Amino acid sequence: MSLTYDDVVAKYEPVLGLEVHVELNTNSKMFCGCSTIFGAEPNTQTCPVCLALPGALPTVNEKAIESTIKIGLALNCSIAPFSRFARKNYFYPDMPKNFQISQYDEPICVNGYVDVEIETDEGTKQFRVEVERVHMEEDTGKSLHVGGATGRIHGADYSLLDYNRAGIPLVEIVTKIVPGTGKYAPEVAKAYVSELRDILRGLGVSDVKMEQGSLRCDANVSLRLIGSDVLGTRSETKNVNSLRSVERAVRGEMIRHAELLNEGERVVQETRHFQEDTGLTRSGRSKEQAEDYRYFPEPDLVPVAPDAAWVEELRAGIPERPSLHRKRLQEAWNVPAKEMEAMINADVLGIVEATVALGADPTKARSWWLGEISRLANERDTAIADLSITPTDVAAIVALVEKGELTDKLARQVVEGVIAGEGTPAEVVSKRGIKVVNDDGALMAAIEKVCAEQAETAEKVRNGHLPAAGALIGAVMKETKGQADAARVRELLLGHLGQ
Amino acid sequence: MRYGLRVGDVDGASAESVMNLTREVGFGKEVKRRIILGTYALSSGYYDAYYGSAQKVRTLITQDFTNAFTKADVLVSPTCPTTAFKIGEKANDPLAMYLNDIATIPVNMAGIGGMSLPSGLADEDGLPVGFQIMSPVMKDERMYSVGAALEAALLSKWGAPLLDKAPIMGGAK
């Protein structure tokens, strides 16, 4: 029996819980000096500590603690004056120590929240997602099990292990259960991860690339009958590698749970793996026999007791929340939400903001970065940020157009020149000899020439058929090598033809 | 198993089986006993009753030492309750073996400094006896000063290191 989503939410209330793992972008690993650069040859970024050779001792990465505190502060958490690392014991080859250094009952940040907004049938609505804890740990190595039907370690012919990732600083952000989202649970989940990603990017503490695994989300979902306060059994879905997948995974699990419950079956408490192609989850390992990690305080590390003054210093440096910042910009610039979205997606918001700060009109700045410059970046198959044009250049170009020293068309040539490395806008203008033909006499000469060449068209305009003027204006612009102001040409042309 | 013993590593043997066999053969009874005890004490359901309670008891032990050090600069005790017993003599009585550590374990529990000095030969069997000196946390230098003074006094009393007077091991009397 297949249920529709509407059937599910008419009967059940979803209860969400989200665990997000974030790889920090520190230069070295959490407990040793190894490099953290992504994509290196396997096992080239390892040392006795992250390979767990006998006698090796860990040392905490101060920068990682700083980043974690910043994350906690940005998520409105309390920073614990005293916190400890703990050993999480499990036996699997991706952790050569046979335990992961993590935090257990004394995490560094607790009790925060993130407010997210989503569009509902009743308009924009805000949901508060409470954060239970933010703690530090180390990432595991990567394993690839070759041979065997399942791709798992059991039944594999052999396994390949890459410990470059083992020991990379990882921060886990765990929400409390999020009740009361009703049918909007999938959207709330997506909005939360999206907001979190923006906040982390704003802090500059992680690359937050879901597709590369530097931000990973596990979605816990359970259902309960509407009106009931008894929580249902939850499943935990891993391998959710995009924002869209977060939404799909939650929706898919809600439907799967409801189908089981309606059939009188039991939801099994287990880890499931999201499959990008089908949008469904498949069963991973069961958590029925509760995993027992036998946590205990890590004896090789001293407790983390951040100085209150240091925490306050970090708090002072937390940037405005990206979503609020955007809202403020959107109001100040008076741009529609869609345009804001376009700028965010093209990753030009910051650069547009910088251009506006240099005096450019917001609409003009936006249109340059999002239009012509984006197009040139695409053409060159490069990121806008890697082009050699700066907000200062664009602001200068906008100013030249405003002063009438450049037409839009000429300005495009200047942009191209700057990107080609010919110098500042002023240098490009002088080197290329670009200038607006302001001399009405020269324009009139061109107009007369064009009207003579295209007498038939000119006659149409003379007789009041104004749309025909476009072709003549185009020809005049061509005649003046694009250096004329099209508006002035139109004015003169129409005057010349008695209109 | 890169270091030392490796058992059962034949074609088709799983990693798990090689590990099982190696540990089965390689670990002695006492090691296995401690692994099982430790695992049990940390298991969910037993954690609070054993590990959790033990942590609280440890705090009490620490406080006890702190109090004692308000009255004395260092504490002293025998290092062990008995002189050395023969190898294997108490292999079937682990509790009796554990008792042998009774005087030194509190130092580890409390996180303070402790050292053992040879202090003489027992009247009963002529075997060496250790003398323990304990000092407050971060006061190791006090422990070394007392130890050095005691060592100097004993040496001058004996006229030679204690080792010279100890019975020869290996059956010879």
Q: What is the mean predicted confidence (pLDDT) over A364-382?
A: 90
User: CA of A299: which chain B residue's CA is closest?
Assistant: B111
Q: What is the pLDDT of residue A3?
A: 85
pLDDT in tens, A62-76: 999 999 999 999 999
Distance between B20 CA and the closest CA of chain A, angstroms = 13
Which among A161, A291, A292, A302 is the top mutation candidate for probing chain B, defined by the most B β-carbons within 10 Å of its own β-carbon? A292
Please tell me which residue, A489 or A118, carries the higher pLDDT value.
Answer: A118
Q: What is the pLDDT of residue B172?
A: 44
Residues of chain A that touch chain B, judged by Cβ-Cβ distance less than 8 Å? 54, 89, 93, 153-154, 290, 292, 294-296
* ipTM associated with this complex: 0.74
Model pTM score? 0.75
Is residue A292 scored above 80 in pLDDT? yes
User: Which one of B14, B44, B51 has the shortest CB-CB distance to A290?
Assistant: B44
Q: What is the pLDDT of residue A114?
A: 96
User: Which one of B3, B15, B43 has the shortest CB-CB distance to A54?
Assistant: B3
Please tell me which residue, B172 or A464, carries the higher pLDDT value.
Answer: A464
User: CA of B11: which chain A residue's CA is closest?
Assistant: A157
pLDDT in tens, A445-487: 888 888 888 888 888 888 888 888 888 888 888 887 777 778 8
Contact B15/A93, CB-based, under 8 Å? Answer: yes
User: What DSSP state is assigned to residue A318?
Assistant: P
Which among B2, B17, B44, B137 is the top mutation candidate for probing chain A, defined by the most A β-carbons within 10 Å of its own β-carbon? B44
- Residues of B within 8 A of A89 (CB-CB) are 42
pLDDT in tens, A17-67: 999 999 999 999 999 999 999 889 999 999 999 999 989 999 999 999 999
The pLDDT-based confidence of B173 (bands split at 50, 70, 90) is very low
Q: What is the mean predicted confidence (pLDDT) over B56-75?
A: 97
Average pLDDT, chain B: 90
Residue ranges of chain A that CATH labels 1.10.10: 440-496
Contact A296/B42, CB-based, under 8 Å? Answer: yes
d(CA A372, CA A394): 11
Q: What is the pLDDT of residue A171?
A: 98
From A240-244, A264-268, A346-350, A477-481, the region with the lowest mean pLDDT? A477-481
Q: What is the pLDDT of residue A285?
A: 66
User: CA of B46: which chain A residue's CA is closest?
Assistant: A294
Q: A122 by DSSP, 3-state: which? A: coil
Q: What is the mean predicted confidence (pLDDT) over A296-323?
A: 94
Q: What is the mean predicted confidence (pLDDT) over B132-142?
A: 97
Domain A440-496 has CATH 1.10.10: yes
8 A C-beta contact, residue A113 and residue A77: no
- Residues of A within 8 A of B43 (CB-CB) are 292, 294
Share of chain B above pLDDT 70, in %: 95
Residues in CB range of A430: below 8 A, 6 or more apart: none
Q: What is the pLDDT of residue A284?
A: 79
Q: What is the pLDDT of residue B171?
A: 52
Distance between B25 CA and the closest CA of chain A, angstroms = 20
Q: What share of chain B is helix, strand, coil (3-state, %, to 5)?
A: 45, 10, 40
Starting at the edge strand found earlier in the chain, the sheet holding A99-102 runs A99-102, A86-89, A296-297
- Alpha helices by DSSP H, listed for A263-381, are 308-316, 322-333, 337-345, 349-357, 362-367, 374-379
Count of positions (residues) in chain A? 499
- Residues of B within 8 A of A147 (CB-CB) are none
pLDDT in tens, A408-425: 888 998 999 999 889 899
Share of chain A above pLDDT 70, in %: 98
pLDDT in tens, A191-219: 999 999 999 999 999 999 888 889 999 99
- Residues of B within 8 A of A295 (CB-CB) are 42
- Residues of B within 8 A of A294 (CB-CB) are 39, 42-44, 47
Distance between A294 CA and the closest CA of chain B, angstroms = 5
Q: What is the mean predicted confidence (pLDDT) over A114-140?
A: 94
Q: What is the pLDDT of residue A290?
A: 58
Contact B3/A294, CB-based, under 8 Å? Answer: no
Is residue B166 scored above 50 in pLDDT? yes
d(CA A216, CA B171): 66
- Alpha helices by DSSP H, listed for B27-139, are 29-42, 53-68, 94-99, 105-110
Position A451: which residue type? C
Q: A98 by DSSP, 3-state: which? A: coil
Please tell me which residue, B26 or B164, carries the higher pLDDT value.
Answer: B26
How many CB contacts within 8 angstroms connect chain A with chain B?
Answer: 16
Q: A366 by DSSP, 3-state: which? A: helix
User: Which one of A153, A154, A296 has the shortest CB-CB distance to B51?
Assistant: A296
The pLDDT-based confidence of B148 (bands split at 50, 70, 90) is very high
- Residues of B within 8 A of A292 (CB-CB) are 43-44
- Residues of A within 8 A of B42 (CB-CB) are 89, 294-296
Contact A296/B44, CB-based, under 8 Å? Answer: no
Q: What is the mean predicted confidence (pLDDT) over A333-358?
A: 88
The pLDDT-based confidence of B74 (bands split at 50, 70, 90) is very high
Residues in CB range of A343: below 8 A, 6 or more apart: A349, A352, A366, A369, A370
Average pLDDT, chain A: 90
Contact B42/A290, CB-based, under 8 Å? Answer: no
